[in-house]
A and B are shown apart, each in its own frame.
Chain A
Amino acid sequence: DVKVTQSSRYLVKRTGEKVFLECVQDMDHENMFWYRQDPGLGLRLIYFSYDVKMKEKGDIPEGYSVSREKKERFSLILESASTNQTSMYLCASSKGGNEQFFGPGTRLTVL
């Protein structure tokens, strides 16, 4: 079974802090994705990566950056967290463009 894990289920940070969200997948998938999920807005793609050290902006990249130094790990970075980044963050991976496998999500609260 594909497993996608995220480093934290719940995280509370203060405005201005640097935040790292980690995602690891164990199925050698090329593609990895970061979404944020907000009520009434569904899933919005922040960034994705189709290979090590490669990254592409999604629909809402502002205020975020990513890092993919190893194939199995994709990190989302909030350089200076703001309250409007309070959200549920979901990581996913896929082989090719097919089915995406999701992690359990990280609920981030920025105070």
Chain B
Amino acid sequence: GEDVEQSLFLSVREGDSSVINCTYTDSSSTYLYWYKQEPGAGLQLLTYIFSNMDMKQDQRLTVLLNKKDKHLSLRIADTQTGDSAIYFCAGWPIQTGANNLFFGTGTRLTVIP
């Protein structure tokens, strides 16, 4: 399977930008996802990017993909206290025929008012 790594914790001040990083080992992941998990809840899909893209922007969210370095990042502009959550990156290696995603360990983002 694929290994997906993330740092465990990130703290930022309200109004600053947050950057959450993810590295993966298997370059065959065709779809890469960012999920958000709020306290006591399941995971919700935030955004995704195809492996043939370098960047995707969706309102305050910007996803950057560096395929050469196998590095994915999620930037949240103007971070708000409601953004405090655990963020998971995940990859789907479609070429393997797998139907399951490979998840990172999750990064707990704390926004300081």
**What residues of chain A have their CB less than 8 Å away from a CB belonging to chain B?**
4, 31, 33, 35, 40-43, 45, 48, 50, 58-59, 90, 92, 94, 96-105
Contacts and interface: CB of A to CB of B under 8 A. Distances in A.
Contact of A42 (B40, B92, B103): B103
Interface string B60-100: 00000000000000000000000000001000101000111
Contact of B100 (A33, A42, A104, A105): A33
B106 to A, nearest CB: 5
B10 interface: no
A90 B92 contact: no
B12 interface: no
Contacts of B92: 97-98
A94 B44 contact: no
Closest 8 CB pairs of A and B: A102-B42, A42-B105, A43-B103, A102-B43, A97-B99, A104-B42, A42-B106, A31-B99
